[in-house]
Structure 1
Amino acid sequence: MNDKPALFEGYQIRRIYDEQTETWYFSVVDIIRALLQQPDYQTARKYWNKLKERLNREGSQTVTDCHQLKLPAEDGKMRLTDTASPEVLLRLIQSVPSPKAEPIKLWLARVGYERMQDMTDPARSLDRAREYWRQHGRSEKWIQQRMMGQETRNKLTDYWKEHDIRKESEFAILTNIIHQEWSGLTVQAHKEVKGLNTQNLRDHMSEAELIFTALAELSTRQIAEVAEATGMEENKIASKKGGGIAKKARLELEQKTGRSVVTGDNYLPPKAAVIDSNSKKK
């Protein structure tokens, strides 16, 4: 996990990146401070505690969806802190009357939550992504495949959300099942093969890896839809079957070409690759 803070209008927002779920989690109190424009941390913390009590009384799921993760405190020590993903923060922000609500929503979209960027402004988000990949040397063919794969992914996660898959950890488990089934590697192991640390694995996949990932996720969704898979256990079965279809196709292609679909290739700049490698050895 990476815990480098971010800034919103002069307010430091502590955050931590979960590599398995590829999700940023932000300190809720820090977000509250920025919303209230409150310089005093303890005042913001008391406001959050009262807000938690009210939301719990109202039966809101928002507080339940917050996670306690260790973040650096004012004394420099790592302490458990209420954190939330941008998706949860979107709901939470609605409960805090503040003229900064809309600006902070846009800020959250900019600091790295791809799915929420699509919700905020789909056209602008896609254009930004295209330009980013072009600047990093991706071909138009690769960009098209990456975006098609993202659309396939979004349809699958939408299905999961509608069929009792709620927690980020559940999304991560199902994603890992699909990935390990088709590729023979967990998501984390695949990242290690490519020498990645906090980077998004899909942004460093080859065209073939993107295609087989999309095939596995498309197959998973269609199998789940036919079976009307609901909840973790049924969706685990669909995920394994969907990944298995892509695995058969991968093995057949590898047999015909004599080349592995899964590779250690990445799009890291040479210096970034060296830094990533050195950081792992420490």
Structure 2
Amino acid sequence: MENSEKEKQGFELLPISQEALGGQDTEEFYEVRRIWVKEEICWYYSVVDVVKLLTRSKNPGVYWSALKKRNRHDQGFTDILTQIKELPLRGKDGKLRGAEFVTREVMLRLVQNIPSERAEQVRRWLAQVGEEKLQEVEQQTQAEQLRDLYIRQGRTPEWADARIQNLLSRNALTDEWLARGAQQHLHFGLLTGTIHRGTFGITSDTHHHAVKKLPKSIKNARDHYTEEELGVLTLAELAARRMHEQNDSQGVPQLLQDAQAAGNFGGQVRQQFEALTGQPVVSSQNFLDQPKGRRKKKQLPLPEQETLFEATQEPDIDEK
């Protein structure tokens, strides 16, 4: 089914791999419909689809109806039924009909009430697919909060979008560095400085303190970049990440080689942009003249692990 058709019907089809069900060698194929309820920030899963997955029934709707009747005096099962939400789904005939959906937590409880050799695999699968979306929503929520904060500080929506995209790119790049053998406190500064110097033609220390006149106490120098500076650097860091992936670079020497190539590419992009616009990309502009109450960046609530926007800040270094 095409994505546009899924959107018309109002649900997402979630295929279940045989590996998730225990790796049986069979041609059986299952899909579970789920709907994202934005107001509650959670997925709702089709009860009938999960019943079919657990029981292999050819008529899961009938099985589900019988199960409800059989357990109508069971208080625990009755509690589950009270948490069912009826959501509209468009059928093959184009008509909307109500279908029963429950949250992941309720579905996990429901699985315990249906005899099945697949129960444990289905519970594990439900836990996995739910967590992925929650992480995505958490990141999106932080992005929206940060964008609103930047705009309240007097930045333009275009600048806020460019800054957030730079944060995303930067965090994805540092994830690659960690996975490929670089250590944050030993190597991130060198790798970042290499890309920076290649892209802008000056070291980060010169850029931040000699050109932009930022005090040493500034922790997030990129919050003082222009939209042009952010755009060019984001593209250069994306190039570095793609090179790491394509070359399967491992260890600092290979990562540094990729960083040098990405910096050279960023420098070419900058020079072409300057030739096209007639204006230099490197700018003395900063945001130090904001009202005092707005200078300090608001800290978002942090979970136990690093969030999307805990961007690793590079030190101002002048590489030899």
TM-score, length of structure 2 as denominator length: 0.45
**Which has a greater percent of helix?**
1
* 1:155 alignment partner in structure 2: 172
Which ranges in structure 2 are unaligned for 5 or more consecutive residues? Answer: 1-134, 293-320
Judge conservation of contact 2:153–2:290 (CA < 8 Å) in 1: no
Hey, what's the Cα distance between the residues in 2 that align with 1:196 and 1:184? 18
Is the radius of gyration larger for structure 1 or structure 2? 2
Residues 1:165 and 1:255: Cα distance change in structure 2 (over 3 Å): same
Q: CA deviation at 1:257?
A: 2.5
- What is the Cα-based RMSD across aligned positions, in Å? 2.2
1:165 aligned onto 2:182: yes
AA matched with 1:159: E
Judge conservation of contact 2:178–2:184 (CA < 8 Å) in 1: no
What are the within-5 Å matches in structure 2 for residues 78-93 of structure 1? Answer: none
Q: CA deviation at 1:201?
A: 1.6
1:228 aligned onto 2:245: no
Hey, what's the Cα distance between the residues in 1 that align with 2:176 and 2:182? 9
AA matched with 1:157: T
SS in structure 2 of the partner of residue 178 of structure 1: helix
1:195 aligned onto 2:216: no
CA shift digits 1:141-173 (9 cap, x unpaired):
111111111111111111111100123231111
Hey, what's the Cα distance between the residues in 2 that align with 1:164 and 1:133? 34
Hey, what's the Cα distance between the residues in 2 that align with 1:252 and 1:141? 21
Hey, what's the Cα distance between the residues in 2 that align with 1:227 and 1:135? 42
Q: CA deviation at 1:244?
A: 0.9
Dislocated runs of 4+, deviation >6 Å: none
CA shift digits 1:177-228 (9 cap, x unpaired):
0001100111121111111123212111111100001011000111121111
1:253 aligned onto 2:273: yes
* 1:22 alignment partner in structure 2: none
1:134 aligned onto 2:134: no
Percentage identity across aligned positions? 29
* 2:62 alignment partner in structure 1: none
Judge conservation of contact 2:196–2:233 (CA < 8 Å) in 1: yes
Residues 1:235 and 1:271: Cα distance change in structure 2 (over 3 Å): same
AA matched with 2:142: S
What are the within-5 Å matches in structure 2 for residues 261-276 of structure 1? Answer: 261-269=281-289
Hey, what's the Cα distance between the residues in 2 that align with 1:221 and 1:270? 34
AA matched with 1:221: R
SS in structure 1 of the partner of residue 145 of structure 2: helix
Hey, what's the Cα distance between the residues in 2 that align with 1:251 and 1:188? 21
More displaced 10-residue stretch of structure 1: 160-169 or 216-225 = 160-169
Which ranges in structure 1 are unaligned for 5 or more consecutive residues? Answer: 1-117, 273-282
* 2:194 alignment partner in structure 1: 177
SS in structure 2 of the partner of residue 246 of structure 1: helix
* 2:307 alignment partner in structure 1: none
Judge conservation of contact 2:229–2:282 (CA < 8 Å) in 1: yes
Hey, what's the Cα distance between the residues in 2 that align with 1:142 and 1:167? 28
* 1:240 alignment partner in structure 2: 260
